[in-house]
Amino acid sequence: MTFARPLALLVLVAVPLFVATGVWLERRRRAGAASFTSPALLPNLVDAFPGRRRLIPQALFLLALTALIVGMARPHAHITVPRHEATVVLAIDVSRSMSATDVKPSRLLAAESVANAFVDRLPRTYNLAVVAFGTHAFVALPPTSDRALAHTAIDDLHFGEGTALGDAVSLAASLGQRIRSQDGTVPPESVLLISDGARQGGQTSPLTAADRARALGVPVSAVLVGTPAGVVTAKLVGGFNERIQVPPSPGTLQQLAHATGGEYFEAATAAQLSAVYKHLATRIGHRTENRELTDAFAAGAIALLLVGGGLSFLWFRRVLP
């Protein structure tokens, strides 16, 4: 929490002064009462003592005073609020290594399954786009709010060759710039990149693509799919098959996420991949704003004063404690 007028907090010194003054006056009152009568006779003169109950309205009054003073300092805090508009781009790797079955039923099919669940978690007001990349990056679905089209585009992805990672990030980051809100502004955009490895082919390097995404204010969150046990089979001349190990390569995805202000995750199983999507759906669906809390502190102070005054009137037939 920050304060626009921090010097106003110096007035908080008055709170312990009020407490000290109250304690002094209470002791003086008791001393004065003792000088007029014997303490042994007080039970015969007074039906009941208020005891600690008398301190409750006083404590509420001091809390209200503290809240008012803090409100005078104009406090600000970062608060998470729902987004009403945004563009989310799913960039999915369809290279041959994504056919590995170390993540059941395969890396790509697992990614498609939880991507569909991710789509259903996004607010309906969001636009969603799908970019696929193998040897080349291409738009499988331009930004749209039609969730049925999104599911169809994800399910229709098929395997290719290569991993044009930089091209995919550059293309995905530019898609949201075509969308305009009713006031003419560009809604915030996020890219979710699902891949199992480093760049192989393409015209744009991942770092160049990251620079472009950062310049556009587009964070790229990356999800690394696969395990070191991943293997794909390639057909050779003569009818033979070659088994090729395809362990995931985290380095490039980590750099992309770090350079653009996104997040990086590793998902070795379908369950872990699903958990990542649930987390990202929540993060993408909200934003952090710096808001002034003066009104909240003022409202809290008024509520404390009303409660304290009500209890004081109910118990002692007076408003002030």
User: Does 297 lie in the same domain as 185?
Assistant: no
Q: Report which secondary-structure segment, H or E, holds 90.
A: strand 87-93
In a domain? residue 160: yes
What's the CA gap between 89 and 194, in Å, rounded? Answer: 11
In 162-199, which positions are buried (b, 16+ CB within 10 angstroms) versus exposed (e)?
bbbbbbbbbbbbebbeebeeeeeeebbbbbbbbbbbeb
73 confidence band (pLDDT: 50, 70, 90): confident
The pLDDT score that the predictor gives to residue 122 is 80
Binned at pLDDT 50, 70 and 90, residue 15 comes out as: confident
- Is residue 238 included in any domain, yes or no? yes
60: pLDDT confidence band, cut at 50, 70 and 90? confident
pLDDT digits (tens, 9 = 90+) for 215-257: 998 889 888 888 888 898 877 777 777 888 889 889 999 999 9
Regarding whether 166 and 32 lie in a shared domain, the answer is no
Closest CA to 75 of 5, 170, 146: 5
Give the pLDDT band (50/70/90) at residue 32: low
The pLDDT of 67-84, averaged and rounded, is 77
| Whether 277 contacts 116, CB under 8 Å | no
Q: Which residues contact 75 (CB under 8 A, 6 or more apart)?
A: 1, 2, 3, 4, 292, 293, 294, 297
Instruction: Please give the residue range of the domain that contains residue 254.
Output: 84-284
The pLDDT, as a whole number, for residue 113 is: 86
CA 36 to chain centre: 65
**pLDDT > 90? residue 118:** no
pLDDT in tens, 132-177: 999 999 999 999 989 999 999 999 998 888 889 999 999 999 988 8
Looking at the chain, the whole-number percentage of residues with pLDDT higher than 70 is 82
| Bigger pLDDT: 23 vs 51 | 23
Confidence of residue 282 (pLDDT cuts 50, 70, 90): low
Highest mean pLDDT among 59-73, 92-106, 112-126: 92-106
Answer yes or no: do 214 and 306 share one domain.
no
Considering the domain architecture, whether residues 67 and 94 belong to the same structural domain is answered as: no
Across 39-43, 115-119, 142-146, 278-282, least confident range: 39-43
Instruction: For residues 107 and 154, state if they share a domain.
Output: yes
Instruction: State the burial class of residue 215 (Cβ atoms within 10 Å of its Cβ: 0-12, 13-18, 19+).
Output: exposed
Residue 108's pLDDT is what?
Answer: 92
Q: Is 46 inside any structural domain?
A: yes
Contact 195, 225 (CB under 8 A): yes
Cα 186 from Cα 180, distance rounded (Å): 5
**229, 278: one domain:** yes
In a domain, 15, yes or no: yes
Asked if residue 256 and residue 127 are part of one domain, the reply reads: yes
**What local confidence, expressed as pLDDT, does residue 51 receive?**
59
Instruction: Label residue 38 by pLDDT band (50, 70, 90).
Output: low
Best CA proximity match to 170, nearest among 205, 197, 130: 205
My answer on whether 24 and 88 are in the same domain is no
CATH code for the domain in which residue 92 is found:
3.40.50.410
> Whole-angstrom Cα distance, residue 130 to residue 140?
5
pLDDT of the residue at 279: 67
Residues 49, 93: one domain? no
Check whether 266 has a pLDDT greater than 60.
Answer: yes
Q: In this structure, is residue 321 part of a structural domain?
A: no
Closest CA to 133 of 77, 81, 202, 191: 202
178 and 30 assigned to the same domain? no
Residue 141 burial (CB < 10 Å; 0-12/13-18/19+)? buried
Q: Which residue has the higher pLDDT, 187 or 129?
A: 129
- Domain identity same for 32 and 60: yes
Question: Do 276 and 199 have their domain in common?
Answer: yes
pLDDT, greater one: 151 or 33? 151
Determine the number of helices (DSSP H) and then strands (DSSP E) in the chain: 10, 11
| Of residues 186 and 281, more confidently modeled | 186
Q: Report the domain count for the chain.
A: 2
Q: How confident is the model at residue 193 (pLDDT cuts 50, 70, 90)?
A: very high
pTM comes to 0.63
